[in-house]
Amino acid sequence: MSDSPESLESKLAGAIEQRDAVLVRQLLDSAEFVLLTIPDEDDDDEEGASVFSTDIDGMDLVVAFTNEQAAGEFVHSMEDIYEEGDDIEGYVMDGDALLQYMPPEHGLYLNPESDDPLVIDYELLELVLKAEV
């Protein structure tokens, strides 16, 4: 009798619900994430780009995806808000690097527009960043 392995998303959901910063850190460190960027309109440098972020109920959140399929579905669902010719690019980043480069006072929004999006609020993310693994 073999149990199917629990997905990263379901493990993260449980750890977030329990506010288990150590487990959240372990799960994030062991995974890779897709981040999307769009060119900075205010930046004269042609290489400048911004990582997708959003604000939910006054909380600033960096948007990331646990797989390329979720990122693709998000881009497809948001086609109507982008101007024609907008270059939306994605790149893969391991979880440790994602945590290292999180902007100050931001949380993390995983897989928006999916059936089960996850939010790691700023307070929990601060604990995750300090967690020893």
Residue 91 neighbours by CB distance under 10 Å: 11
C-alpha span between 64 and 39 (Å, rounded)? 17
Task: Say how many domains are in the chain.
Answer: 1
- 64 falls within a domain: yes
pLDDT at 80 over 90: no
Domain membership flag for residue 81: yes
Q: How far apart, in whole angstroms, are the C-alpha atoms of residue 109 and residue 117?
A: 7
- Sign of the dihedral through C-alpha 74, 75, 77, 80: positive
What pLDDT is recorded for position 84? 61
Highest mean pLDDT among 36-45, 82-91, 115-124: 115-124
Check pLDDT > 70 for residue 77. yes
What's 36's domain CATH number? Answer: 3.40.1350
2-54: per-residue pLDDT in tens? 444 689 999 999 999 999 999 999 999 999 999 998 766 655 555 556 888 99
Bigger pLDDT: 88 vs 90: 90
* Calpha distance 131→18 (Å, rounded): 15
Rounded to the nearest integer, the mean pLDDT of the chain is: 86
pLDDT of residue 45: 52
Q: Is residue 63 part of a domain?
A: yes
At residue 34, the pLDDT reads 96
Residue 24 lies in a domain: no
Report the pLDDT value the prediction gives residue 49, as an integer from 0 to 100. Answer: 61
In a domain, 114, yes or no: yes
Whether 2 is in a domain gets the answer: no
- CB 101, CB 66: distance < 8 Å: no
pLDDT number for residue 25: 97
Q: Which domain holds residue 81?
A: 32-41+48-123
Residue given tokens 């993260």 in the structure block:
12
For residue 69, being part of any structural domain is answered with yes
- Coil, helix or strand for 1? coil
Q: Note whether residue 21 is domain-resident.
A: no
